């Protein structure tokens, strides 16, 4: 499906538009199927968006939270994606604790944690074998190197097609990440990208000839819809008008 690309005037507009699109998708999924499953992105860009969503009046008991990736740290570590989302959003709303599925990061081996999270996904979605669950929404950011989730350039995680969760590798730092097949199975994938420092990555993602292994976000070709919500600083050279 052709991506929807929106370039917003500035970061404030990007935050506002992002929360509007996400909330619309949440409400739509709940209206259609009685629940919404969403995988959250980490990093800094989503933080104010999560804070804005926390202000909304949503049927929180019908929303089920997963993560697209996680640093291999405890939940109270400043780098924790779970910790970030809880601090500005999940701990601020009456979402049942059993609706939130954090990535386990305390197993001695990241690979064991990845297998455990995979089983959590399989159990929740009641899938087994080669079946790939279909999340309603997957939120993604974009690194300056065009990584997304914790799918970093030229790493083994990019090639994993027979699992839902694997160990990512950021310059030797272990991370846990959902795999390309799981992201591409989603109903709605929403990239949210801010800042001039992401221009080059975006140019490679949208170019005809760049290398998928060098620019991993190029691997995200969902069967469902994909949104790119950019601020003008990030989207400046894509030849798209803001607003
Ligand atoms: C993470 C994210 C990662 C992030 C990008 C962009 O755990 O860091 O999942 O993929 O989305 O690195 O990060 P910023 O939003 O901080 O630029």
Task: Output the 3-class SS for the chain.
Answer: CCCEEEEECCHHHHHHHHHHHHHHHHHHHHHHHCCEEEEECCCCCHHHHHHHHCCCCCCHHHEEEEECEEECCCCCCCCCHHHHHHHHCHHHCCCCHHHECCCCCCCCCHHHHHHHHHHHHHHHHCCCCCCCCCCCEEEECCCCCCCECCECCCCHHHHCCCCCEEEEEECCEEEEEECHHHHHCCCEEEEEECCHHHHHHHHHHHCCCCCCCCCHHHHCCCCCEEEEEEEHHHHHHHCCCEC
Per-residue pLDDT band for 2 (boundaries 50, 70, 90) equals: confident
Give the pair of three-digit tokens for residue 169.
Answer: 């590798």
> Is the pLDDT assigned to residue 184 strictly greater than 90?
yes
Cβ 149 under 6 angstroms from ligand 1: yes
HSE-CB of 240 using CA atoms within 13 angstroms = 21
Residue 8 alpha carbon to ligand 1 centre in Å: 19
Task: Render pLDDT for 82-127 as a digit per residue (tens, 0 to 9).
Answer: 999 999 999 999 999 999 999 999 999 999 999 999 999 999 999 9
Cβ 168 under 6 angstroms from ligand 1: no
Cβ 155 under 6 angstroms from ligand 1: no
Q: Which of 138, 122, 121, 123 is nearest to 38 (CA)?
A: 138
Cβ 83 under 6 angstroms from ligand 1: no
> Is the pLDDT assigned to residue 243 strictly greater than 80?
no
**Per-residue pLDDT, 241:** 55
**Per-residue pLDDT, 237:** 81
Name the CA radius of gyration of the chain, rounded. Answer: 17
Residue 226 alpha carbon to ligand 1 centre in Å: 18
| pLDDT above 70: percentage of residues in the chain | 98
More confident residue, 46 or 2: 46
The CATH number fitting domain 4-178+216-235, selected from 3.40.50.1360, 3.90.1300.10, 1.10.10.10, 1.10.357.10? 3.40.50.1360
Rounded to an integer, what distance in angstroms lies between the CA atom of residue 94 and that of residue 109? 33
CA triple 4-5-9, angle to 5 deg: 140
Cβ 41 under 6 angstroms from ligand 1: yes
**Per-residue pLDDT, 6:** 97
Rounded to an integer, what distance in angstroms lies between the CA atom of residue 107 and that of residue 116? 9
What is the rounded end-to-end Cα distance, in angstroms, of the chain? 22
């Amino acid at each position: 499906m052709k991506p929807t690309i929106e370039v917003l005037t500035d970061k404030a507009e990007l935050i506002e538009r992002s929360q509007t699109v996400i909330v619309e998708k949440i409400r739509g999924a709940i209206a259609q199927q009685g629940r919404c499953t969403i995988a959250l992105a980490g990093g800094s860009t989503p933080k104010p968006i999560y804070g804005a969503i926390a202000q909304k009046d949503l049927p929180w008991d019908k929303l089920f939270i997963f993560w697209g990736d996680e640093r291999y740290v405890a939940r109270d570590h400043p780098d924790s994606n779970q910790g970030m989302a809880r601090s500005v959003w999940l701990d601020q709303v009456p979402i049942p604790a059993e609706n939130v599925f954090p990535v386990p990061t305390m197993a001695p081996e990241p690979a064991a944690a990845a297998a455990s999270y995979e089983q959590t996904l399989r159990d929740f979605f009641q899938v087994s074998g080669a079946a790939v669950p279909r999340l309603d929404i997957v939120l993604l950011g974009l690194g300056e190197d065009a990584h997304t989730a914790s799918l970093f350039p030229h790493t083994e995680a990019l090639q994993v097609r027979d699992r839902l969760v694997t160990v990512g590798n950021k310059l030797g730092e272990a991370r846990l990440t959902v795999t390309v097949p799981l992201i591409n199975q989603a109903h709605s994938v929403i990239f949210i990208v801010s800042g001039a420092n992401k221009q080059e990555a975006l140019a490679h993602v949208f170019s005809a000839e760049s290398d998928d292994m060098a620019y991993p976000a190029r691997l995200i070709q969902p069967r469902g819809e994909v949104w790119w919500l950019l601020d003008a600083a990030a989207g400046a050279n894509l030849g798209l008008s803001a607003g």
